Structure 1
Amino acid sequence: MQNADIARTLNRLANLLDIEGANAFRVRAYRSAAQTIESHPHALQDMVARDEPLTELSGIGRDLAEKITELINTDHLTVLEDVEKRLPPGLLQLMRVSQLGPKRVRQLHETLGIDSLESLKKAAREGRIRALEGFGEKTEAGILKEAERLEDTPPRTRLDEAHRAAADLIAWLEHAKSAQRISAAGSLRRGRDTVGDLDILVSSDDGPAIMAHLMDYPEIAEIVSHGETKSTVYLHSGLQVDVRVVADKSFGAALYYFTGSQAHNIATRKMATDRGLRINEYGIYKGKKQLAGRTEEDVLSRIDLPWIPPELRENRGEIDAAREGTLPELITLEDIRGDLHMHTTASDGKASLEDMVHAAKSRGYRYIAITDHSKRLAMANGLDARRLREQMAEIDALNERLKNFTVLKGNEVDILEDGTLDLPDDVLRELDVCVFSIHSKFNLSREKQTNRILRAMDNPHVNILAHPTGRIINGREGYEVDIEAVLRGARARGVFLEINAQPARLDLADHWARMARDIGVALAINTDAHTPEQLGHMVLGVTQARRGWLEKKDVLNTRTVTQLRKLMTR
Structure 2
Amino acid sequence: MDKQAVRHTLDHLAAVLTLKGEQARRVRAVQHAARRELLTTGRSSALEELREQVPPGLVEMLRIPGLGVAKVRQIHESLAIESLAGLEAAAADGRLAALPRFGTKTVETVRRGIAALRQAGGPRLFHHAQDEIEAVRSALAALEGVLRVEIAGAVRRRSEIIGSLDLVAVHAGDAAREALVRRLGRASGVTEIAGREGAVTLRFASGTVVDVLLTTPDRFGLDWIRATGSAAHVATLVARARETGVSLDGTFGDEASVYRALRLAWVPPELREGNGELEAAAGGTLPRLVAQGDLRGFLHCHSNYSDGTVTIAEWAAACRAAGYEWVGITDHSKSAAYSGGLATEDVTHQHAEIDEVNDGAHGFRVLKGVEADILADGTLDYGAAVLARFDFVIGSIHSRFGMSEAEMTRRVLTAMDDPHFTILGHPTGRLLLQREPYAIDLDQVLAKAAARGIAVEVNADPHRLDLDWRLVRRARELGVTLSIGADAHSTAGLSNVAVGLGIARKGWLEAAQVLNTRDVDGFLSFARRRAA
Classify 1:406/1:181 alpha carbon distance in 2 versus 1 (closer, same or farther; 3 Å): same
| 1:157 is the counterpart of 2:124 | yes
Classify 1:35/1:438 alpha carbon distance in 2 versus 1 (closer, same or farther; 3 Å): farther
CA distance in 2, matches of 1:41, 1:336: 31
Q: Specify the alignment match of 1:305 in structure 2.
A: 264
Matched residue count = 462
What does the per-residue CA deviation read over 1:139-158, in whole Å, with 9 as the maximum and x for residues that have no partner? xxxxxxxxxxxxxxx95111
Q: Specify the alignment match of 1:404 in structure 2.
A: 363
CA distance in 2, matches of 1:430, 1:505: 29
| 1:259 is the counterpart of 2:257 | no
CA distance in 2, matches of 1:21, 1:476: 18
CA distance in 1, matches of 2:165, 2:423: 35
Q: Specify the alignment match of 1:519 in structure 2.
A: 478
What does the per-residue CA deviation read over 1:38-65, in whole Å, with 9 as the maximum and x for residues that have no partner? 57699334532xxxx67xxxxxxxx994
User: Paired residue for 1:198, among 162, 165, 169?
Assistant: 165
Q: Specify the alignment match of 1:128 in structure 2.
A: none
Q: Specify the alignment match of 1:277 in structure 2.
A: 246
Asked whether the 8 Å contact 2:328–2:368 carries over to 1, the reply is yes
Q: CA deviation at 1:375?
A: 1.7
Classify 1:46/1:23 alpha carbon distance in 2 versus 1 (closer, same or farther; 3 Å): closer
CA distance in 1, matches of 2:102, 2:82: 13
CA distance in 2, matches of 1:412, 1:436: 6
Classify 1:527/1:67 alpha carbon distance in 2 versus 1 (closer, same or farther; 3 Å): farther
User: Paired residue for 1:230, among 199, 211, 214?
Assistant: 199
Q: Specify the alignment match of 1:207 in structure 2.
A: 177
SS of the residue 1:370 aligns to: strand
| 1:543 is the counterpart of 2:489 | no
| 1:75 is the counterpart of 2:75 | no
Structural mapping, 1:102-181, within 5 Å: 156-181=123-148
Classify 1:553/1:236 alpha carbon distance in 2 versus 1 (closer, same or farther; 3 Å): farther
What does the per-residue CA deviation read over 1:288-335, in whole Å, with 9 as the maximum and x for residues that have no partner? xx2x32111111111111211111111111111111111100011111
Q: Specify the alignment match of 2:435 in structure 1.
A: 476
Q: CA deviation at 1:77?
A: 9.3
Q: Specify the alignment match of 2:5 in structure 1.
A: none
Q: Specify the alignment match of 2:409 in structure 1.
A: 450
Greater mean alpha carbon deviation, residues 245-254 or residues 552-561: 245-254
What does the per-residue CA deviation read over 1:146-187, in whole Å, with 9 as the maximum and x for residues that have no partner? xxxxxxxx9511111111111100110111121111111111
Gaps of 5+ in 1: 1-12, 55-62, 81-153, 279-283
| 1:372 is the counterpart of 2:331 | yes
| 1:507 is the counterpart of 2:476 | no
Q: Specify the alignment match of 2:156 in structure 1.
A: 189
Classify 1:521/1:69 alpha carbon distance in 2 versus 1 (closer, same or farther; 3 Å): farther
Classify 1:74/1:195 alpha carbon distance in 2 versus 1 (closer, same or farther; 3 Å): same
Q: CA deviation at 1:410?
A: 0.8
Q: Specify the alignment match of 2:394 in structure 1.
A: 435
Classify 1:21/1:296 alpha carbon distance in 2 versus 1 (closer, same or farther; 3 Å): closer
Structural mapping, 1:326-365, within 5 Å: 326-365=285-324
SS of the residue 2:219 aligns to: helix
Alignment RMSD? 2.8
User: Paired residue for 2:446, among 484, 487, 492?
Assistant: 487
Classify 1:332/1:68 alpha carbon distance in 2 versus 1 (closer, same or farther; 3 Å): farther
SS of the residue 2:395 aligns to: strand
Classify 1:219/1:475 alpha carbon distance in 2 versus 1 (closer, same or farther; 3 Å): farther
Gaps of 5+ in 2: 1-10, 24-69, 114-120
What does the per-residue CA deviation read over 1:182-216, in whole Å, with 9 as the maximum and x for residues that have no partner? 11111111111111101111000223343334334
Q: CA deviation at 1:240?
A: 3.2
Letter in 1 for 2:201: T
Q: CA deviation at 1:228?
A: 8.5
Q: Specify the alignment match of 2:340 in structure 1.
A: 381
CA distance in 2, matches of 1:379, 1:493: 31
Q: Specify the alignment match of 2:16 in structure 1.
A: 18
Percent identical among aligned pairs is: 35
What does the per-residue CA deviation read over 1:194-246, in whole Å, with 9 as the maximum and x for residues that have no partner? 111011110002233433343345554x5261468522134466553101211
